[in-house]
Amino acid sequence: MSELSKQDIEHFITTQYQLWSENRVDEMMALFRTIAPNGFTIQYIGSPEIEGEKAMVEMIAAYAGKIRTELVRLLINGNEAAAVIDNIRNDTGEVSPSIETYRFENGRMHARYYH
């Protein structure tokens, strides 16, 4: 994949949160593989970086269908983005905010989650 445009990054980020909230995880994973054909990593700040597919399997098992996401703010600068997210428990409505950053380079994506 060639260099991503601001619109490509915005589409990826907004769509991934929509798919997550709708519990359409297979489509979400396909989206990840499209935006990052050379793979991706996820780092929960304070923990080591994890291979992305492994991290997503664990995240899906723990939270899919239980937490929905609301994109509060998205900033994109070049090949990087930062998103402010409200993670909302479906059963109680309790909100846990997070900041999530993304860097795209050489067909890879590096995501960092501040929870």
Q: What is the pLDDT of residues 25-34, one digit of tens each?
A: 999 999 999 9
Residues 73-91, mean pLDDT to the nearest whole number: 98
Question: Is there a contact between 95 and 87 (Cβ–Cβ < 8 Å)?
Answer: yes
| CATH number of residue 87's parent domain | 3.10.450.50
Question: How many CB atoms are located within 10 Å of the residue 32 CB?
Answer: 20
pLDDT higher for 1 or 42? 42
Residues 79-96, mean pLDDT to the nearest whole number: 98
Residue type, 65: G
pLDDT at 46 over 50: yes
Residue 1 is assigned to a structural domain of this protein: no
Closest by CA position to 83, among listed 9, 7, 30, 33:
9
pLDDT at 88 over 70: yes
Coil/strand/helix, residue 79: coil
The pLDDT confidence band at residue 2, using thresholds 50, 70 and 90, is: low
Residues 83-93, mean pLDDT to the nearest whole number: 98
Supply the range of the domain harboring residue 64: 6-114
Residue 108 is assigned to a structural domain of this protein: yes
In sequence order, what DSSP letters do the residues of 21-46 get, joined into one string? Answer: HTT-HHHHHHHHHHH-TT-EEEEETT
Residue 44 is assigned to a structural domain of this protein: yes
Pair type for strands 108-114 and 80-89: unpaired
Residue 79 is assigned to a structural domain of this protein: yes
Residue 19 is assigned to a structural domain of this protein: yes
- Give phi and psi for 98, each to the nearest 5: -150, 160
Residues 100-109, mean pLDDT to the nearest whole number: 98
pLDDT at 1 over 50: no
For the chain, how many structural domains are there in total?
1
* pLDDT above 70: percentage of residues in the chain: 98
Residue type, 115: H
